Structure 1
């Protein structure tokens, strides 16, 4: 119980990343064709238009790694008070969000890019919190 109370902020942020990235990654896997179709249209006028399937695959893998690391890092903090995997999950989460931000900017979807910034704030804050350990 002490690990939970001493690391409540980190635990809550890990739950946030876990939900965000596992849901997103699973959604992209379950509805690959729908996501690929939408993204192909979204990037039709961008320099990324010919790379959409490959980039979608990279994003899915990165999101799944971020979500799984968040789950394992959460377990590690709660059970052992260790935060190394949680730190890695925060880093991978930030990388995933930066990839998404880059894509939105390339597609000139500035409203979508703003939305990603909202997710980046808690992820980078978790990196900050876990750097001290």
Structure 2
């Protein structure tokens, strides 16, 4: 319990990222067709339109890995007071968000890109804290 209190900021950001990425990846698994339909329409006027299924799978995989690494990192930090896995989870979260940001910018969805920036700030801060 001492590790939870001594790393409160890291733990809270990890929990935030776990919720964000596991929920998002689970949604993509259970509503693949809906997500794919939305994204094909979203990227209709971009060079990504034909790659949408592959890119959705790539984003799904990166989000799942980020969420699982953050989960394992939270456990490792709480039990062993080590930050290795949490650090890699935070890095993977940043990479996932950068992929999403690239897509939003390419689709000229600037409001969506701003939303991703809001998620990116705590993820990068977690990288900073865990270095």
TM-score w.r.t. structure 1 length? Answer: 0.98
Shift of 1:40: 0.2
Corresponding residue number in structure 1 for 2:74? 74
The number of residue pairs the alignment matches comes to 131
Query: How far does the alpha carbon of each residue in 1:64-117 deviate from its partner, in whole angstroms, 9 at most, with x for none?
Result: 000000100000000010000000000000000000000000100000000000
Corresponding residue number in structure 2 for 1:104? 104
CA distance in 2, matches of 1:47, 1:33: 20
Is 1:4 the equivalent of 2:4?
A: yes
Coordinate RMSD, CA, aligned: 0.4
Corresponding residue number in structure 2 for 1:95? 95
Is 1:59 the equivalent of 2:50?
A: no
Corresponding residue number in structure 2 for 1:124? 124
Corresponding residue number in structure 1 for 2:30? 30
Runs of 5+ consecutive residues of structure 1 not aligned to the other structure: none
CA distance in 2, matches of 1:26, 1:2: 32
